Amino acid sequence: MRLRVGISTCPNDTFMFHALLAGKIETGALQLAIELLDIQELNEGVLRGRFDCSKASAAMAVSLSDRFEICDAGAALGFGVGPLLVARPNAGPLSAGSCVLCPGERTTAYLLMRRFFPKASTIEHRVFSEIMPALCRGEFDYGVVIHEGRFTYESHGLTCMADLGTLWEETEQIPLPLGVVVVDRALPREVRECFGGLVRRSIEYAMEHREEALSTMQRFAQELDESVIWAHVDLYVNKWSLTLGDEGTRAVQALARVALEEHER
């Protein structure tokens, strides 16, 4: 059976899926056609039915529970992993009239921005890799950075105004779910379970063959510096990537509650 699979180009995804991208593990009766896209493109693809299985923003995934189930493996979830609200030099305090760049209206980053800075009513969305360059050019004062941007914003002369993940942790007392793998509920249960097992095996393979995965990550990464790539992997790939477990499941449920509250506001 052929499955259409979507993952992001960020190092944690290419690390976790390296074994599947490079044919390092057998997939049995499943044939995986893997596409690598920006997270907002993945979100839109999931909504349009472009993928059978895909990485998606946790904020969107929890709203689609009738169509997709969240895979137990492959999540980006943890403490200290959240998006950052950054500003260019001399931007001044954030006000109601300030325009903030976000990486997509269905991303967890945008949900957190709305949650913790509701007065910032003017939001524009850009591909995540375009946000810091736009701030550096002086086109905008504020932006929410994700992925490698968490590690490189200072080198671009930008200042962190708020760690949205820390704000989440302080209010919810639970790790932050950023992205999860979703699987179409229309697929037979044995296929969904088999795919989840492949994702877990791929992560285990990467953990056991770290250096081998580097070339795969560098092929797609926005930032090629090895120290940045490994910092990214070490932060976002953890025990919850292998299995959500009870704590990870509670974190997803907490995000679903917050997403519903923001939708009803």
- Kindly list the catalytic residues: 147
CA distance 23 to 249: 30
Q: Which residues contact 48 (CB under 8 A, 6 or more apart)?
A: none
CA distance 28 to 143: 44
Q: CA torsion 210→244→50→131, rounded to 10°?
A: -70
Cβ–Cβ < 8 Å for 153, 145: yes
Cβ–Cβ < 8 Å for 52, 181: no
CA distance 134 to 251: 33
